[in-house]
Structure 1
Amino acid sequence: MSETTGFIAPVDGALRAVENLLAVIAGAVLAGTMVLVTTDAVSRHLFSAPLTFQFTLTESYLMVAGIALALPWGYRAGGRIRIALLLATLPPQVQHLLFRIGNIIALPYLAVLCWLSAEKTYTAFANQEYTMGIIDWPVGWSWIWVPIGLAVLTLRVFVDTLRPVVAADLSEH
């Protein structure tokens, strides 16, 4: 539950809506991936007719989208590394300060990852890069999900740095 107030509250609310939408899309993509892999396995073993496109589609497109789009929601839900044993021994003010410092340190790293993946995506689309095979797969559509997920994750970490620290930020999962 969000305890965000002040000027950051509307931004946090809008960001939560975007994160939830991306998580739903990621879940649908991963569910579709499971159906596709299962269909391929059944078709391969029962009918000796594998889905020749399945591996590349799953590996280079669906899994990338499923993971990258779920990153910001996963972070918000507590899916991050915390050293809680040491943190729990410190006063609350120090815990809050360390939480913010950790976010401030992570922000440039996330921003650079987002920028570099956006450059790679742009280059792949601009150069009309393809992976050759049974189907010629456009590389840009494999990469596009990474900068989208990282951009929203970067915004989430930035918003979390500005908003009040809550117990869930510092707890173990």
Structure 2
Amino acid sequence: MNSMRSGPIGSVDGALCAVENLCAIVAGAILAGTMVLVTVDAFSRHLFSAPISIQYTLTESYLMVGGIALALPWGYRAGGRIRIALLVANLPLGTQSILFRVGNLLALPYLAALFWLSTGKTWEAFANQEYTMGIIDWPVGWSWIWVPIGLALLTLRVLLDTLRPFSPADMAEH
């Protein structure tokens, strides 16, 4: 989904791509670190009967959330979404463009609502100083913060794709 790099949409697209790429790199590093942590925990647990006690909560509530949420906009831009390409590919380009934009317009309110609600939940968690009790008292806000960041970028990406010139590659399978 390479968009045209001219005019205000091209400038915004370039900046958004840079932020999406940075978030994807961070997400990849988080997920690679998660794999190392889980592997070390498994070896430690089975070979030495000494599990890493914080591994499960850290992985489940923080690392996986960050790794997945931060990768959302890059994944969408790279074509990681559901498309019904078989039927649409046989339609005229004008009709494809309309279907692409209508689909995006239908998704935008849902994405915006998810962003808004997750921002509220994150704000509440920080404002109320919410913690999950365990070996370590885990601050809930730092678990949630990645969700509104990823959803904000994904919402901006879908909005930008709705406004920019249509390309047949938008409907192609990847």
What CA distance in whole angstroms lies between the structure 2 residues aligned with 1:4 and 1:81? 25
Contact 2:3 2:165 in 1 (8 A): no
State the match for 1:63 in structure 2. Answer: 64
Relative to the length of structure 1, the TM-score reads 0.98
What CA distance in whole angstroms lies between the structure 1 residues aligned with 2:7 and 2:135? 55
Q: Which amino acid aligns with 1:116?
A: L
State the match for 2:133 in structure 1. Answer: 132
Q: Does 2:86 align with 1:85?
A: yes
State the match for 1:73 in structure 2. Answer: 74
Q: Does 2:44 align with 1:38?
A: no
Q: Which amino acid aligns with 1:153?
A: L
Contact 1:4 1:164 in 2 (8 A): no
Gaps of at least 5 residues in structure 1 are none
What CA distance in whole angstroms lies between the structure 2 residues aligned with 1:168 and 1:39? 42
What CA distance in whole angstroms lies between the structure 2 residues aligned with 1:13 and 1:120? 30
Q: Which amino acid aligns with 1:39?
A: V
State the 1:85 CA deviation: 1.4
What CA distance in whole angstroms lies between the structure 2 residues aligned with 1:65 and 1:7? 30
What CA distance in whole angstroms lies between the structure 1 residues aligned with 2:35 and 2:140? 22
State the match for 2:167 in structure 1. Answer: 166
Q: Which amino acid aligns with 1:31?
A: A
What CA distance in whole angstroms lies between the structure 2 residues aligned with 1:163 and 1:4? 10
State the match for 2:48 in structure 1. Answer: 47
State the 1:50 CA deviation: 0.3
Runs of 4+ in 1 over 4 A off after TM superposition: none
1:7 is paired with a residue whose SS is helix
State the match for 2:12 in structure 1. Answer: 11
Q: Which amino acid aligns with 2:158?
A: V
CA deviations 1:122-152 (Å, max 9, x no partner) are 0000000001111110000000000000000
State the match for 1:27 in structure 2. Answer: 28
What CA distance in whole angstroms lies between the structure 2 residues aligned with 1:54 and 1:114? 28
Contact 1:3 1:166 in 2 (8 A): no
Q: Alpha carbon RMSD of aligned pairs, Å?
A: 0.8
Q: Which amino acid aligns with 2:103?
A: G
1:100–1:9 CA distance, 2 compared to 1 (3 A): same
1:165–1:4 CA distance, 2 compared to 1 (3 A): farther
Contact 2:41 2:52 in 1 (8 A): yes
State the match for 2:100 in structure 1. Answer: 99
What CA distance in whole angstroms lies between the structure 1 residues aligned with 2:169 and 2:122? 35
Gaps of at least 5 residues in structure 2 are none
1:133 is paired with a residue whose SS is coil
Greater shift, 85-94 or 141-150, is seen at: 85-94
Matched positions, count: 173
